[in-house]
Amino acid sequence: MKMIGFIMLFIFPVLSKAQTNLDSIKLPKGFQIELLAKVPYARGMSISPSGTIYVGSRSEEKIFAVIRENLKTKEVVTLVSDQDEPIGVAFHKGDLYFSTIGKIQKLPNIEASLKKPPKPVLVTDKIENDRRHGWKYIAIGPDEKLYVPIGAPCNVCKETDTHALLLRMDLNGKNKEVVARGIRNTVGFDWHPDTKELWFTDNGRDWLGDDSPSCELNHMSKVGLHFGFPYCHAGDVLDPDFGVGKKCANYIAPAQKLGPHVAPLGMRFYTGKMFPEKYKNQIFIAEHGSWNRSKRIGYRVMLVRLENNKAVSYEPFAEGWLKNEDVSGRPVDIAIDLDGSLLVSDDFAGAIYRISYKK
């Protein structure tokens, strides 16, 4: 097992001891949460137009498909096994793209062969393959390009031309280009439904204390921006080693600070029709939770409200997986289901939850 695995198992119980009892989860009035499917170490999610949920599973080293009938879980099948930390999945026009350490692959025409999936087809192996922050969330943008983050291979280290950035490329892996730099480790991004501009979460560096720096929600209004890492964190914290002689004003500040060590991962704009109108085009963020803070923080789904393309509030939406320092779940990714309900993956409990609204 990789070193990161030892760290996580030292701090948290093994998967079999996690709980999916959701009675303690607090939601706004009118909302309900239920268990939709059990998927071992569920991470990234992507939903096809037919309603199949594709799920990456880093520790299980598999890609799963949750096959449904009328959006109710029918069965969970394994599509590929023995992959190297495959967390990112992106369904697009019949094909399922997925990430591993150093590779992007795809399963062509997967909907026609869920029970007998094809062998993975290599899209590219011409990306960095460091183990530290080497697992990759992926998504396909409105420009029909595949977006792939390359995390920093460290807690904090000198900037290079090949790390701490966001790539985009053609769907065949060609024509790679860097669209943003200064990103320590993003494990979730989405495009505003109206402006088509990219927003993304970023995990702040460790070992500057319990309360510094904050993790981030960032807004990429154009290509070529630099978001500060490793020189400036959270818009106003100069790094003690790499910030000497630098100014935070020279980098893009977060659209919203999310708190220290909350580990924000998946994020989605709400584009469904089930929730009340005030949730339209607002941002839901899955906070995986701290692993090295003296008092734990995160382990929840948060809501960032926008007005005129600016973040104006940051508030709890679903919380209760952390109680008196005991952990029962760790949200990872967010997806909008076909009926407008909100799906949340949880790698700690090995689950996918469904959050719905009824007047």
The confidence score (pLDDT) of residue 1 equals 30
**pLDDT at residue 21 in the model:** 80
Give dist(CA 88, CA 46) in Å, integer: 9
φ/ψ (deg, to 5) at 201: -90, 155
Residue type (1 letter), 302:
M
Cis ω on the peptide bond leading into residue 254 (within 30° of 0)?
Answer: no
**pTM across the whole model:** 0.95
DSSP assignments along 274-312, one per residue: SS-GGGTT-EEEEE---SS-SS----EEEEEEEETTEEE
Question: Nearest-CA neighbor of 317 among 351, 349, 353?
Answer: 353
> Residue 107 is which amino acid?
L
| Distance, CA of 82 to CA of 338 (rounded, Å) | 30
Q: How far apart are CA 134 and CA 150, in angstroms?
A: 7
* Count of C-beta atoms within a 10 Å radius of residue 199: 26
Could you say which residues of the chain have pLDDT below 70?
1-19
CATH superfamily of 3-357: TolB, C-terminal domain (2.120.10.30)
Q: Specify the residue for token string 């809501």.
A: 303
Residue in this structure with the two tokens 């914290």, named with its chain if needed: 237
